């Protein structure tokens, strides 16, 4: 991954959606509603960035005019969620790409050390697939890098992995960049930094707890 491999969403609607989900007073049902709206936009943008799957396509409109567009081939896509928070993004992704094969990797960040602990993985065949790795938060990058290790050990090609993310930070991106320079990232926002507890600042708190209302 390098800077040109990172896409940051540029949509006017994001400011409103982020204001809702960053607000500590937003109720759990509203956090879920607005984050899903944001993640639906994120999913659509990610499909356009998965360049192994995108080809040029010209169509004729009902007016008889030509329109030069693109076609996204979703038939080779595998969506992999990093449980638990990644399951929220998986739900949005499958609403847009219901035909995707699905894999799951359960990783829990140690609350004290922020080190990732890998518990479980269940994955479909990964060779030559376009892999959409899903986790709304990238802080130290430890969990995502642990998941990418699993994917590569199970046959994925690094250049075919696209990491889809709601909020990341420079530290996490830098760590991923050094270890996996070919990974592509689509994120809705690069925040400022990590705090001393390895939480993203300004961030939005613990995404999984807020989305699943388990605070």
From ligand PRP, ligand URA, none, interface partner of 132 (C-beta below 5 to 8 A by class): none
Tell me which residues in 130-159 interact with ligand URA (CB under 6 A). Answer: 137, 139
Applying CB under 6 A, which of residues 84, 104, 154, 179 lies at the interface with ligand PRP? 84
Strand partners, 86: none
Binding mask 99-138 for ligand PRP (x = CB under 6 A): ---------xx----x-x------------------x-xx
Is 203 an interacting residue with respect to ligand URA (CB under 6 A)?
yes
Is 87 an interacting residue with respect to ligand URA (CB under 6 A)?
no
Exposure string of 47-80, with b = 16+ CB inside 10 Å and e = fewer, is bebbebbeeeeeeeeeeeeeeeeeebebeebbbb
Distance CA 163, CA 135 (A): 8
- Which region, judged by CB under 6 A, interacts with ligand PRP, from 10-18, 94-102, 177-185, 201-209? 201-209
How many C-alpha atoms does 1 have within 13 Å on its Cβ side?
23
For the record, the structure tokens of 17 come out as 């959606």
Q: Smaller CB distance to ligand URA: residue 103 or 203?
A: 203
For the record, the structure tokens of 138 come out as 């990238």
Q: How crowded is residue 174: how many other Cβ atoms within 10 Å of its Cβ?
A: 12
From ligand URA, ligand PRP, none, interface partner of 116 (C-beta below 5 to 8 A by class): ligand PRP
Rg of the Cα atoms in the chain: 17
Applying CB under 6 A, which of residues 9, 40, 206, 212 lies at the interface with ligand URA? 206
Is 203 an interacting residue with respect to ligand PRP (CB under 6 A)?
no
């Amino acid at each position: 991954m390098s800077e040109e491999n990172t896409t940051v969403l540029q949509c006017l609607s994001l400011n409103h959606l982020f204001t809702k989900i960053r607000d500590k007073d937003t109720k759990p049902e509203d956090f879920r509603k607005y984050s899903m709206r944001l993640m639906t936009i994120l999913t659509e943008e990610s499909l356009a960035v998965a360049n192994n799957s995108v080809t040029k396509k010209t169509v004729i409109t009902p007016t008889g005019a030509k329109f030069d567009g693109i076609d996204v081939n979703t038939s080779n896509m595998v969506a992999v969620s990093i449980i638990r928070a990644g399951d929220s993004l998986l739900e949005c992704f499958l609403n847009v790409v219901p035909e995707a094969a699905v894999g799951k990797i359960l990783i829990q960040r140690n609350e004290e050390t922020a080190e990732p602990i890998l518990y479980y993985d269940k994955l479909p065949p990964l060779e030559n697939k376009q892999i959409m790795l899903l986790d709304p938060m990238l802080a130290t990058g430890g969990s995502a890098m642990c998941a990418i290790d699993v994917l590569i050990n199970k046959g994925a090609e690094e250049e075919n992995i696209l990491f889809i993310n709601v909020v990341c930070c420079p530290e996490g991106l830098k760590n991923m960049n050094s270890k996996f320079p070919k990974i592509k990232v689509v994120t809705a926002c690069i925040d400022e930094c990590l705090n001393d507890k390895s939480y993203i600042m300004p961030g939005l708190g613990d995404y999984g707890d807020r989305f699943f209302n388990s605070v």
